[in-house]
Structure 1
Amino acid sequence: MKISVGYAFLPKQMSLRTAAVMDHFGVGFETGRHEIAEKLELPIQEGDVVCFTGESGSGKSSLMRAVAGELPGVVNIDALDLGEAILVEALGQSFEEAARLLSMCGLGEAHLMLRRPTELSDGQRYRFRLALALAQQPLWIMADEFTATLDRTLAKVVAFNLARHARKTATGILLATTHEDVLVDLQPTLHVRCALDGPPEVTRYERKKKASALATTCGSVVGPSPTGRISLGGITAVTASG
């Protein structure tokens, strides 16, 4: 797949101040365009976990959306209607399947499963969107600002669970994030690092079976225990030493 993404940044209506900016930076009408990627070769395959990273404003989200436009069966979690149903009833699955998906996304506690979307925090609603997308069993799932509303420990656990689900079901994942700390748990097959002042850097990895530093199971426990397990809002995380 070859992708070209860019945008014009000149104002539609000129003023003395906008003209001064153009003069100060040497910007002409023929150069008033920012290229994020030009004929960028992306070796994307079915079932890939593709992670776009970079600073804010580097174009990672724009590039990801352009890629999504070239792929079939993409579900954008930000476009999903959360509805008003209680979480455990909203997924359209059996109880066991609904509980598994909610737990995988950090919503496995009883007091969370029995809430409605309007009763959730921003981070919990984000995780519920992810569960809704997984329940649809799409070919591809797209998530912008992945885990931005989550604390970093929970973000890594959700990343690990999502990647594990993707490998088991051959679901393709498109993610954009400024947080590269999730890469070790996400284990992407394709990493696209965007830059403010240059072309994106593309790295493809062989599919790995190596376990993460955080192994996870569905369900939860109440507080820390001698086994090393800690409750993370519906996910039980087991540290490598636990």
Structure 2
Amino acid sequence: MRDDKQTTHFGFRQVPVTEKAKLVRNVFDSVADQYDLMNDLMSFGIHRLWKRLTIFLSQVRYGERVLDLAGGTGDLTRLFHPRVGDKGEVVLADINAAMLRRGRDRLTDEGIVRGVRYAQVDAQCLPFEDDTFDCITIAFGLRNVTDKDKALASMYRVLKPGGRLLVLEFSKPTSELFGKVYDLYSFKLLPLMGKLVAGDPDSYRYLAESIRMHPDQNTLKGMMTKAGFERVEYFNLTQGVVAIHRGYKF
């Protein structure tokens, strides 16, 4: 039984474990309408390159089944769709209904209908059968999960043997000097952009804090290995601001 007094981090704050999911949901309810625009502004558009590299490293082929976990507004699903073709399937999944709805509307407007399903799910307890997917991606979502070890174990369970997990997430800059510049940008400019564009500086302050609380590259590699993944490796992007971790289930 979970101890109601157990706490976890929400940004830099300590909150009861039972409350974190609700707090995270409130953040993404708030930012959903401006999410794509803010991604472009915050990353100067580079997030599109990070996502394309994730697709490349996924090695997804025609006819495969892909789970785009924490898929939000559907950027990765949109890129996976032509790769899996009419014999494959992409499941766009997110715990947040507002984000999932925005992703579905966006893809439908673009004519992407066949071969895509939508599911509102919790990464910690995925409602899929064992050995279901050839590939799972989670982009900029793992840091918001309360129990990351439980989520990684759940992802491992629903992957087919030979399947792979790719985690695209903010990480730790490899240069101390660049890290200081990045801190200044994150804690000063991001909340200001959030205020001016989305009218919500607090949500973007949380996003900056959640990045700092996320495990660094080697720690996450160890967590994936502990969950059962093999040949785990990571690729630093933009001087380690972002990293792609890849692991296989054999």
Q: TM-score w.r.t. structure 2 length?
A: 0.29
Q: TM-score w.r.t. structure 1 length?
A: 0.30
Greater helix percent: which structure? 2
Structure with the bigger RCO (C-alpha within 8 Å, sep 6+) is 1
Which has the larger Rg?
1
